[in-house]
């Protein structure tokens, strides 16, 4: 370290500091009080130094410190510790790891800093052969990108990747850009194995109680030409069906479809399996789990329209995109409509109530229950009746005049997770027809879209929602929705923005309010095997203020009806509870707690899904490793030639990198100066006291 002193004023002031110290010492010790000449000079010297140093510090000098550091070259050993590395046995892998241990020792002895990085962690020391190869996925791109970011700006020169080249997550590492030479060490067998795989099992996530639904199996094989295989569909150990596949070529791909149904509601677990063949490399990739949510019926929507209109077809297309909805469309004919006698979750009134009051009876019947409603105002709407029947907005218009407006998203609307950037597309869509007049929002209403006339922004609502009224409702104050969908398709080749907007509005209006006092739910519906299952807990009193510190009993039951019981107490700082080590399958849970003197219950279900990524592909990809090394200026090695890698790295060892750190501090901040002044003052005071002076 090198230090230099800098003055913020002329250094000639230093002479003045010395003069002040000398005058002060002379004035104090010039009188003879019985001390010896040597004592007077010593005391004067202490006082001179103290005063001079203090005056010097008042000039506020600066000290510049420069520290030079030599940074050793660094090498990272990146080890792919996924399960596929051990599929062919540990012998070849252990040889590679033993050679990597020797490589680390050799580089360390050559003054090269070596670090070890796996897919999930970094290791400072220890035998590489103790690394557990248990990772269920391989994301080489993420590991190499993490190394690049962690060592940015440091003297990282080389990375040695020990892998079989099988990447089943993320992008291929060959697409990445790396600022270091990447040397790859190929492990595993590049020759395809004799194997039968169930590559995938495809099914809808939702099916309806009692309905038939398909489960499709994709089977691949290698090396079983002339033989046949059997694919079985099971549920809870019970066989639901089996089919035969013929392996008529050395390498085959076939699709089979099972048709099945369920008489049980909730999440159902199905297993598709190819029975193992004699001489098959591994049976681990012969099975796939399928989870299907069996629901009892759909949410029912009634679309009641005054007359046929293109908007009716547009609404039908939007609603039928959601498999969870069942739509009834009824047109008022001669003042009546054939409305089924059933309970609906949402009623959509298109241009009803009307200005001729022709559909009054139909509207009254549709709204006789406290069903949420979506009003769509058009040129035939009767605004007087509309104003009395909707809790969202009041429209005062006369003479049947209309205006053409576009929609502008209200960025302050927070009830729905809508993307304001995507909704900017509304500016490019055709205008809709709205009544020309005054608009007034009712208490509790929130605006989703404002009206915009050309480029002029108005404070009139186009689409608004009231979720706090006795009857939840929404109002679209214009007709022409069908033109929006057509224009969006012409611009973007899809209708995602408009459809998503109205789907979410319908869901918000029709959703049933949850008034439970105890709510316990998993943070996700699906968890991967090995993950912790996390439950969130909410408890409320009678006025729905949050409660804490009440004990909760949780019972989790697997598919075999075997329960596991837990007890926990949520607090204000932690309302979550975690459960570990659950095997794969469908689980149902029941939580109970005593709140306000009453027993409250919450139930639900979740899935723990097994990952089989590492068993799908067992053929090492050394070609990708060669390409990766070539792109980055490195070389490809195998386990047998890994010893030569140390020689190559030592030969091209770069020099250490010099870096300097400069600091500029005020001299008065140095602590040792304070203690020096205290020491000088203390010495002077001690001598004076010792010789009898005060």
Give the pLDDT score at 387.
92
Give the pLDDT score at 499.
94
pLDDT tier, 45 (very low <50, low <70, confident <90, very high otherwise): confident
Sequence-ordered list of residues with C-beta below 8 angstroms from that of 536, at least 6 positions apart, any chain: 519, 520, 521, 522, 523, 575, 576
**Burial grade of 599 (CB within 10 A; 0-12, 13-18, 19 or more):** exposed
Closest CA to 77 of 35, 37, 40, 105: 105
Closest CA to 197 of 83, 277, 259: 277
Task: Fill in the DSSP letter of residue 34.
Answer: S
Give the pLDDT score at 297.
67
Give the pLDDT score at 663.
79
| pLDDT over 70 (residue 94) | yes
What distance in Å separates the CA atoms of residue 392 and residue 535, rounded to the nearest whole number? Answer: 37
Closest CA to 403 of 355, 445, 449, 454: 454
Mean pLDDT of 420-438: 92
Q: CA separation (Å) from 692 to 36, 148, 252, 678, 686?
A: 13, 72, 110, 21, 10
pLDDT tier, 124 (very low <50, low <70, confident <90, very high otherwise): low
Residue range 260-295, pLDDT digits in tens: 988 888 889 999 999 998 888 888 888 888 998 887
Closest CA to 161 of 648, 632, 651: 632
Across the strands, what pairs with 200? 218
Region of poorest pLDDT, from 102-111, 118-127, 512-521, 559-568? 118-127
Residue range 210-226, pLDDT digits in tens: 788 899 999 999 988 88
Task: Look at the alpha carbons of 306, 366, 208, 589 in this order and tell me if their dihedral is positive or negative.
Answer: positive
Sequence-ordered list of residues with C-beta below 8 angstroms from that of 287, at least 6 positions apart, any chain: 198, 271, 272, 273, 274, 612
Mean pLDDT of 546-569: 93
Q: Whole-prediction pTM value?
A: 0.56
Residue range 328-365, pLDDT digits in tens: 999 987 666 778 778 888 999 999 998 888 888 888 88
End-to-end, the C-alpha distance of the chain in Å comes to 45
| pLDDT over 70 (residue 88) | no
Reported as type and span, the H/E element at residue 314 is helix 310-320
| pLDDT over 80 (residue 89) | no
Please check whether residue 293 is in contact with residue 607, taking contact to mean a CB–CB distance below 8 angstroms: no
| Secondary structure percentages of the chain, helix, strand, coil, to 5 | 25, 40, 35
Supply 618's token pair. 């067992």
Closest CA to 590 of 603, 576, 579, 578: 603
| pLDDT over 80 (residue 165) | yes
| pLDDT over 70 (residue 33) | no
Q: If you compute the radius of gyration of the chain from its CA atoms, what whole number of angstroms results?
A: 39
Region of poorest pLDDT, from 254-263, 481-490, 661-670? 661-670
Q: Which is higher by pLDDT, 426 or 343?
A: 426
| pLDDT over 60 (residue 694) | no
Residue range 613-660, pLDDT digits in tens: 777 777 888 999 999 999 988 899 987 787 788 888 888 777 767 666
- Which SS3 state, helix, strand or coil, does residue 413 take? coil
What distance in Å separates the CA atoms of residue 570 and residue 534, rounded to the nearest whole number? Answer: 13
Residue range 574-613, pLDDT digits in tens: 999 999 989 989 999 999 999 888 899 999 999 998 877 7
Give the pLDDT score at 366.
85
What distance in Å separates the CA atoms of residue 448 and residue 463, rounded to the nearest whole number? Answer: 5
What distance in Å separates the CA atoms of residue 668 and residue 60, rounded to the nearest whole number? Answer: 7
Mean pLDDT of 7-32: 82
Mean pLDDT of 38-64: 84
What distance in Å separates the CA atoms of residue 559 and residue 238, rounded to the nearest whole number? Answer: 13
Orientation of helix 13-29 relative to helix 37-58, angle to 10°: 150
Mean pLDDT of the chain: 87
- Which SS3 state, helix, strand or coil, does residue 345 take? coil
Sequence-ordered list of residues with C-beta below 8 angstroms from that of 154, at least 6 positions apart, any chain: 71, 74
Residue range 166-209, pLDDT digits in tens: 888 888 888 888 888 899 998 888 888 888 988 889 988 888 88
Mean pLDDT of 54-69: 80
């Amino acid at each position: 370290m090198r230090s230099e002193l800098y003055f913020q004023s002329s250094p000639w002031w230093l002479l003045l500091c010395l003069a002040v110290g000398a005058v002060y010492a002379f004035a104090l010790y010039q009188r003879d009080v019985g001390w010896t000449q040597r004592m007077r000079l010593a005391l004067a010297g202490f006082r001179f130094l103290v005063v001079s140093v203090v005056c010097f510090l008042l000039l506020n000098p600066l000290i510049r410190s420069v520290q030079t550091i030599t940074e050793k070259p660094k090498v990272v050993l990146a080890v792919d510790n996924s399960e596929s590395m051990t599929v062919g046995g540990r012998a070849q892998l252990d040889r590679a790891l033993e050679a990597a241990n020797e490589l680390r020792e050799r580089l360390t002895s050559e003054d090269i800093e070596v670090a070890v990085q796996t897919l999930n962690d970094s290791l400072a020391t220890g035998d590489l052969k103790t690394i557990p190869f248990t990772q269920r996925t391989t994301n080489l791109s993420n590991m190499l990108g993490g190394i690049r970011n962690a060592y940015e700006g440091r003297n990282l020169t080389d990375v040695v990747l020990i892998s079989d080249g099988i990447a089943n997550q993320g992008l291929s590492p060959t697409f990445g850009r790396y600022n270091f030479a990447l040397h790859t060490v190929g492990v595993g067998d590049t020759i395809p194995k004799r194997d039968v795989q169930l590559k995938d099992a495809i099914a809808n996530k939702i099916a309806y109680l009692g309905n038939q639904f398909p489960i499709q199996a994709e089977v691949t094989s290698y090396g079983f030409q002339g033989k046949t295989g059997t694919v079985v569909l099971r549920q809870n150990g019970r066989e639901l069906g089996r089919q035969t596949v013929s392996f008529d070529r050395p390498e085959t791909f076939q699709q089979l479809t099972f048709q099945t149904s369920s008489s049980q509601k909730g999440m159902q677990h199905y297993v598709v399996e190819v029975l193992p063949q004699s001489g098959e490399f591994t049976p681990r990739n012969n099975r796939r789990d399928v989870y299907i949510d069996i629901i009892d019926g759909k949410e029912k929507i009634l679309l009641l329209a005054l007359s046929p209109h293109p908007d009716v077809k547009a609404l039908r297309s939007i609603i039928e995109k959601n498999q969870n909805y069942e739509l009834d469309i009824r047109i008022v004919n001669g003042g009546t409509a054939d409305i089924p006698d059933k309970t609906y979750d949402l009623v959509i009134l298109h241009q009803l109530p009307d200005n001729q009051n022709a559909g009054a009876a139909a509207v009254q019947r549709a709204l006789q229950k406290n069903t949420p409603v979506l009003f769509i105002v058009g040129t035939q709407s009767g605004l007087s009746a509309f104003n009395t029947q909707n809790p969202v907005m009041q429209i005062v218009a006369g003479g049947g005049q209309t205006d053409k407006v576009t929609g502008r998203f209200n960025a302050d609307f927070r009830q729905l997770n809508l993307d304001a950037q995507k909704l900017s597309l509304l500016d490019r869509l055709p205008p809709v027809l709205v009544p020309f007049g005054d608009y007034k929002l009712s208490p509790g209403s929130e605006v989703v879209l404002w009206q915009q006339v050309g480029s002029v922004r108005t404070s009139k609502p186009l689409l608004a929602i009231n979720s706090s009224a006795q009857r939840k409702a929404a109002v679209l104050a214009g007709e022409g929705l069908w033109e929006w969908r057509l224009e969006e398709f012409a611009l973007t080749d899809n209708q995602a923005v408009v459809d998503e907007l109205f789907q979410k509005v319908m869901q918000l209006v029709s959703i049933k309010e949850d008034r439970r006092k105890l709510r316990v739910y998993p943070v996700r519906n699906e968890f991967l095997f090995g993950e912790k299952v996390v439950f969130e807990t909410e408890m409320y009193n009678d006025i729905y203020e949050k409660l804490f510190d009440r004990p909760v009993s949780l019972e989790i039951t697997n598919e075999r009806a075997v329960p596991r019981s837990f007890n926990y107490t949520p607090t204000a700082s932690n309302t979550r509870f975690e459960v570990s080590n659950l095997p794969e399958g469908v689980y149902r849970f029941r939580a109970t707690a005593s709140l306000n003197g009453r027993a409250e219950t919450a139930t639900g279900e979740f899935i723990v899904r097994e990952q089989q990524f590492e068993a799908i592909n067992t053929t090492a990809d050394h070609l990708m490793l060669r390409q990766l090394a070539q792109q980055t200026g490195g070389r490809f090695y195998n386990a047998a030639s890994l010893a030569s890698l140390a020689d190559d790295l030592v030969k091209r060892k770069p020099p250490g990198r010099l870096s300097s750190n400069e600091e500029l501090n005020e001299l008065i901040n140095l602590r040792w100066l304070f203690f020096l002044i205290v020491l000088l003052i203390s010495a002077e005071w001690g001598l004076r006291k010792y010789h009898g002076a005060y």
